[in-house]
Structure 1
Amino acid sequence: MSREDELISVVVPVYHVETYIERCVESLLQQTYSNLEIILVDDGGDDRCPQICDEYAKKDARIKVIHKKNGGLSDARNAGMRAASGKYLAYIDSDDYIQPDTYEKMIYTLKKENADIAVCNYEAVTDQGQSITEKNQKMDIKDRTYSSQEAISNLCGPNYHYWVTAWNRLYKIKIAREISFPVGKIHEDEFTAHLFYDKAEKIVGISEPLYKYVIRENSIMTKKYSVKNLVYVEAVNNRIEYCMEHGLEEVGQAFLRWMSRYLMNVYDKLDIKDKEVRQTYDKYVEMYLKLYHSIKEKHKLDTETKAATFMLVHTPKLASYISRKILK
């Protein structure tokens, strides 16, 4: 389908995934597009992953290994990105895997449409590779091109998760190098998705779910909601500010409405009677309110956002109930 004269660098952060890493790497080695630079970033784990990475590097010259002190997912991705020498770059999480023709189809489509980023749907699967039907009903990405503003707008749609993840994309390296992931933060993709799309003049979608997203019982994504997840508010607040400053006022206000709903919804998910939890929640509500009032001074806000904000301040428990039972 596509000539293999241009190198794709694939960055794989590796940490405590010895049960999954071989499946991930094998899916890369079996790609029909073989001109790959596979960068395994050992993030300082104390299991067998460092040794497994080194063993793979001995077997295939396309594999490079970076051993580093533990710094988290963002730090590992950034290290791999800095070491990449390809014209294109992709990220893949080390407990996931991809179809054999993933990069062949992505680079072909990206080049055919002269796009800066290609993004595909993904399929949620179990540890054993079985499709999780209820999570794969509303794949959002279509076979078409999207403007930067369209892609950013999709980050607050009902199926936004297909647009926010860093690993179901292929980037031109010049785009990838402009954005670093925030070290020490969870929800790192929420902090960066809009920045990637804003740097791109054109994004091309691929409806086929080329990426296999493995949902593990003990993964970050399946753990019970905790106060640490509230950093998501900071991520979306940053996104709102960015939109308002870059002429995307309508999109920014959509995110503001989204954030008011989110803060309403999570109130009852937290142990709000715990003093530290309540203080942290209140801190993020104040962060939201500061941005809300600064936008309200310059723009007319819709009734839903104003009503949700009023309830957040005066009746947070009722607001949470309404969000979960009525506005879901």
Structure 2
Amino acid sequence: MEKKDNLISIIIRTMPGREKFLDKCLFILTGQVYKFIEPIIVVQKLKDGDSLENIQSIVSRWKNYFTNIQLLSHTSEQDARSRSLNMGMEAATGQYLAFLDDDDKVYPEHYSNIIERLQKSKHAWAYADIILATYNIDGQLVSRETPFKRERYSFLNHIKGNFIPIHSFVIDQFKVENIGSIDETMDKNEDYEFLLRLAFKYEPLYVEKFGAEYSVRSDGTNTIMSAGSSPIELYEKRQKWIEAELKLNHRKVTNFGWWVREISEQTATHNKCLEQINYELLKESKRRLKNIYRSVCWKFIRLFRKINWKLRHRPKKKDIIPETNAEAAMLLLEIYSSKSWQIICPIYAIESILRQFK
């Protein structure tokens, strides 16, 4: 398909029931300084019978502003976010390519800043800084942080962990060849795995400006893991993230070579922690840690640990609550990754549910 000069195709993933996010997303795009925009909305339906009527109504309403807007859909009972991205990429007619989840926010000059820099350089793609915005259950802004910011791009740092969210970058399709598609066997880390392949072949240009926000909400409406999950849901999601990390590590070795394993072994535990929980449990980490410490299950684990420490002549460790949620998150991951916790976690989930009825 022939690409149109200067047009940016923005692939927006959404689902039925998320119409308010899609409507707001398109409204935000109308405020972009860069006006040559082709929104491509890709809807994943869970069943063939799921209605697109509400989404079609939103698209029709914004057609007056985006004359070349596209609406695509597919059906899958499983998480098929990778398929959504590939469908959008196949339909894109613009010189520039970008991705956007329906609940994230881009600032007015985000695309204009990146495209202007790309036009003045030989780089095939560029990315800008992103702010992590956290909202409470009432939709009120709680905090704005910058955990993704780096001084410069480093492929070695990138392969240790992703710091380039999906809506932070733009690709100039006139300057890339055979970049491949999104791996549809992956329903987590799919954009990260794609970016690593892209960066391995084409060095990115870092635009040192904050261009967008990555939104985290505690009401369960995020498209990925929510901090509002029940203990059982949290355990199940954690298992899926572990499986996803194993699959991602396998892809890294396959794509780039054996040496990736050496880098992985040297990666700090706290980096793995922040990647696995996607920054979404940070605000709840101290509370979750306190709940674990006061549980019967933890007292049971502590008993066996004390015996182990005594037999090995090791000093006892106290249960501490760190001052920051980030440090608490590190401790949480250490607990979640232990064999003793994996055995007793289902019992803890039941205990947590029973505690709610007291």
Which range, TM-score by smaller chain? 0.5 to 0.7
RMSD: 3.7
CA distance in 1, matches of 2:106, 2:24: 9
SS in 1 for 2:128: strand
Letter in 2 for 1:221: M
- Residues 139-196 of structure 1, C-alpha deviations (whole Å, 9 max, x = no match): 4234x5x4xxx2353342xxx4423x32211012236852324246233234333112
CA distance in 2, matches of 1:103, 1:38: 13
Aligned partner of 1:221 in structure 2 is 225
2:60 is equivalent to residue 51 of structure 1: no
Q: Which runs of 5+ in 1 are unaligned?
A: 270-314, 320-328
2:7 is equivalent to residue 7 of structure 1: yes
Letter in 2 for 1:9: S
CA distance in 1, matches of 2:70, 2:255: 38
Contact 1:186 1:231 in 2 (8 A): no
Segment drifting more, 182-191 vs 27-36:
182-191
SS in 1 for 2:102: coil
How far has the Cα of 1:260 moved from its partner? Answer: 8.0
How far has the Cα of 1:100 moved from its partner? Answer: 0.9
How far has the Cα of 1:104 moved from its partner? Answer: 0.3
Q: Which runs of 5+ in 2 are unaligned?
A: 278-287, 290-337, 343-358
How far has the Cα of 1:252 moved from its partner? Answer: 4.0
Aligned partner of 2:295 in structure 1 is none
Letter in 1 for 2:211: L
How far has the Cα of 1:73 moved from its partner? Answer: 1.4
Instruction: Indicate the percent of aligned positions where both proteins have the same amino acid.
Output: 19
Contact 1:14 1:49 in 2 (8 A): no
Contact 1:14 1:40 in 2 (8 A): yes
What TM-score does the superposition give when structure 2 sets the normalisation length? 0.61
Aligned residue pairs, count: 258
2:245 is equivalent to residue 233 of structure 1: yes
Letter in 1 for 2:120: K
- Residues 69-92 of structure 1, C-alpha deviations (whole Å, 9 max, x = no match): 346211111100000011110000
Summarize the alignment of residues 1-328 of structure 1 with structure 2, pairs less than 5 Å apart.
6-15=6-15, 16-44=17-45, 46=51, 48-57=54-63, 59-70=65-76, 72-125=80-133, 126=135, 132-133=142-143, 136-142=145-151, 146=153, 150-156=154-160, 160-163=161-164, 165-173=165-173, 174=176, 178-183=180-185, 185-200=187-202, 202-216=203-217, 217-218=219-220, 219=222, 220-223=224-227, 224=229, 225=234, 226=237, 227-242=239-254, 245=257, 249=259, 251-258=260-267, 316-317=339-340
Q: 1:154 to 1:183 in 2, by over 3 A?
A: closer
How far has the Cα of 1:237 moved from its partner? Answer: 1.6
What TM-score does the superposition give when structure 1 sets the normalisation length? 0.66
Q: 1:176 to 1:66 in 2, by over 3 A?
A: farther
Letter in 1 for 2:9: S
How far has the Cα of 1:222 moved from its partner? Answer: 1.9
How far has the Cα of 1:123 moved from its partner? Answer: 1.4
CA distance in 1, matches of 2:156, 2:253: 13
